[in-house]
Structure 1
């Protein structure tokens, strides 16, 4: 004889899982660096739990039929619509307007009051399952569609759980439509939903933690003043041996100490920010830009011939010279000296070529500043 699932017990566990999921997601929202969508998801879990409790009380005739049938459907439909809205916000998209949120549950409520269809268990269950299947499918798509822009490990797992939950509701809807639904079928479906909803809450928490880790890593590798990479970041990004056909440049702002002494350190910070912006706008997406400390920057140009690298370096020098800043009505002169090392022969580490660029930078300073000096010889 096969194992029999007790529907009241399964429903009790289902409601418990929903409340636990709501509390878990709400707790995560209080400590998350990006809490968008978490509170709507927690509210959706609570609405579903309340709706399930009303339905359970109603089945035991502890509430008026007209009250619990209409209200449980309204809360269930609102809960899963809010589920979709929460997943959309969690994934980084714009929030759903409240008018859109109440459209589906409001439509079921109006239709139910007019036709009284929620008084029929199968019709009410069909409306609930249809809403849940569509909302969860939409939620899974919202999570899955941003897998390339935010490739976090928990994202596909979260999308998969949402889709599994939607599929379970869709399958049960088919049984309802063909009049083959049974208490055992409902018990099994709610068992699967309990697992999926618990898993969704777990993956939401995991996704938030992964975002926090990425944020901390980005902070550790980003210069806080200019927003470009820092020394630690660029050293981790450079290949051990620079390939032939690439170039590395050392940049140093001219007379930066004089700017700080004459105009103040706040003005010096403005110069650094403006310089980083000017450099960034002249570089390709594949190029690396980092602030090495003080007034020094580093640029790595992959896939750049000597002539192309020289042209880019000249553009960088010209872009910095075009910076227009003033302090108390006096213009702040901003120029940069650049030492460029073009990798034209194999061999040598990035440190060797960086030393060659540094030597070229010294020559640019000695030659009068505000210029580019290029070398094709690495430091042994």
Structure 2
């Protein structure tokens, strides 16, 4: 059974795998030089590959070269991978470089002690502690990152490094149960099985790292495609998709949900008077106010130009029937600083009450847009309500007011 695994062959296979991985990571890094994580990972897998090449020469090279430098580079490779994980997760640690190099330095220092070099059991113990220590050092970094940014591949990396560290710890008692003695390249079955396991874990860890990089890039491209670059709110498409998904999640929606269009008044005048930079500042501050003041269940987006959209579920409308008028008042009281100028601003709001069931979004948007037009024509700085249950062409079903209409009748109130 012990002859199932040939240790030198497994070591060469692991070295070859690490060489390919380091090559791919280096190639990626050459295209993303500002990605420090890729740089550390490329160096880490390169160091691991060099270490395994040296270890595979244990029968040909002096012990210090094959086992000393070989394992030293292997331990250092995990330190570099840890640095890569820190960079990937955006963490900084004082003295991180020293921590990453410490394990390899300790290992090489011990090779200056003849009794250490001569005792295979002690070498296995120390190597196991160092290898497992760095594996377990990597895990909390990835775990914290997973809490902030869930990536499926990060879970795979956690499993790979967790089992890697655990396997090295298991080697310690196994060395006392059945001591390792290499005979013609063969060792006890447990040692060969673990060496094969390390080969698989290295492969899985490499694939997980590649997948993490890809998943993050895909996620960021998706976010960028759905985000308004100026205000960082949802863009028009993402706003519509979010409303559709929110209604689908609850099997439609209770009657009484609201779609509101919010338009900054006299925005062209702000641009002409204070410059386009001031106009951008106004839009950014308006977006921040909307995000801050609406409940979490609401959906906010910038639909284009100076126009914003807000979707209020029925539950929000029931709890805060005056929310849109409150937003209007807060905007009128908001002070916007831009290069010592204080452009005052107000907003006009057009809102449409939505029926239950599937949403005819173009019709809802047209109704809210017509209500917004009425707000503008009525003098701006006010809220106009309209309902989809009312004929779209009837002006008598638009309500200039601060709260949703309870009945389909004309009600006017100055909001200025």
User: Map of 1:1-380 to 2, 5 A cutoff?
Assistant: 4-31=4-31, 35-57=35-57, 59-63=58-62, 65-66=63-64, 68-95=66-93, 97-110=96-109, 113=112, 116-182=115-181, 183-184=186-187, 185=189, 186-239=191-244, 241-306=252-317, 308-325=319-336, 331-343=342-354, 346-347=356-357, 349-351=359-361, 352-376=363-387, 378-379=389-390
- More deviation, 193-202/81-90: 81-90
Tell me, yes or no, if the aligned pair for 1:256 and 1:295 is still in contact at 8 Å: yes
Pair 1:36–1:286, CA change in 2 (3 A): farther
Q: Say which structure, 1 or 2, has more relative contact order (CA 8 Å, 6+ apart).
A: 1
Tell me, yes or no, if the aligned pair for 2:11 and 2:55 is still in contact at 8 Å: no
Name structure 1 gaps, 5 residues minimum. Answer: none
1:301-355: CA deviation from partner (whole Å, max 9, x where unpaired) = 2253445444322332233223334667654231111123344x53562524433
- More deviation, 30-39/290-299: 30-39
Pair 1:358–1:310, CA change in 2 (3 A): farther
Tell me, yes or no, if the aligned pair for 1:320 and 1:335 is still in contact at 8 Å: yes
Pairs aligned (count): 377
Could you tell me how far 1:297 is from its partner in structure 2?
A: 0.3
Q: Tell me the secondary structure at the aligned position of residue 163 of structure 1.
A: helix
Task: Please report the RMSD computed on the Cα atoms of aligned residues, expressed in angstroms.
Answer: 3.0
Q: What TM-score do the two structures reach when normalised by structure 2? A: 0.79
Pair 1:318–1:274, CA change in 2 (3 A): same
Counterpart residue number, 2:400: none
Pair 1:68–1:196, CA change in 2 (3 A): closer
Could you tell me how far 1:274 is from its partner in structure 2?
A: 1.9
Tell me, yes or no, if the aligned pair for 1:122 and 1:176 is still in contact at 8 Å: yes
Could you tell me how far 1:365 is from its partner in structure 2?
A: 1.7
Q: Matched residues in 1 for 2:339 and 2:92: separation?
A: 42
Q: What TM-score do the two structures reach when normalised by structure 1? A: 0.86
Q: Matched residues in 2 for 1:33 and 1:302: separation?
A: 46
Q: Matched residues in 1 for 2:341 and 2:147: separation?
A: 47
Pair 1:21–1:76, CA change in 2 (3 A): same
Tell me, yes or no, if the aligned pair for 2:36 and 2:88 is still in contact at 8 Å: yes
Q: Tell me the secondary structure at the aligned position of residue 124 of structure 2.
A: helix
Q: Tell me the secondary structure at the aligned position of residue 72 of structure 2.
A: helix
Could you tell me how far 1:196 is from its partner in structure 2?
A: 1.9
Q: Tell me the secondary structure at the aligned position of residue 50 of structure 2.
A: helix
Q: Matched residues in 2 for 1:272 and 1:251: separation?
A: 11
Name structure 2 gaps, 5 residues minimum. Answer: 392-416
Could you tell me how far 1:109 is from its partner in structure 2?
A: 4.4
Q: Matched residues in 2 for 1:26 and 1:290: separation?
A: 40
- More deviation, 287-296/85-94: 85-94
Tell me, yes or no, if the aligned pair for 2:295 and 2:316 is still in contact at 8 Å: no
Q: Tell me the secondary structure at the aligned position of residue 273 of structure 2.
A: helix
Tell me, yes or no, if the aligned pair for 1:36 and 1:92 is still in contact at 8 Å: no
- More deviation, 107-116/19-28: 107-116
Could you tell me how far 1:287 is from its partner in structure 2?
A: 1.9
Pair 1:327–1:77, CA change in 2 (3 A): closer
Q: Matched residues in 1 for 2:281 and 2:47: separation?
A: 51
Q: Matched residues in 2 for 1:123 and 1:361: separation?
A: 79
Pair 1:170–1:331, CA change in 2 (3 A): closer
Q: Matched residues in 1 for 2:2 and 2:174: separation?
A: 20
Tell me, yes or no, if the aligned pair for 1:41 and 1:82 is still in contact at 8 Å: yes
Q: Matched residues in 2 for 1:231 and 1:116: separation?
A: 71
Tell me, yes or no, if the aligned pair for 1:248 and 1:299 is still in contact at 8 Å: yes
Could you tell me how far 1:262 is from its partner in structure 2?
A: 3.3
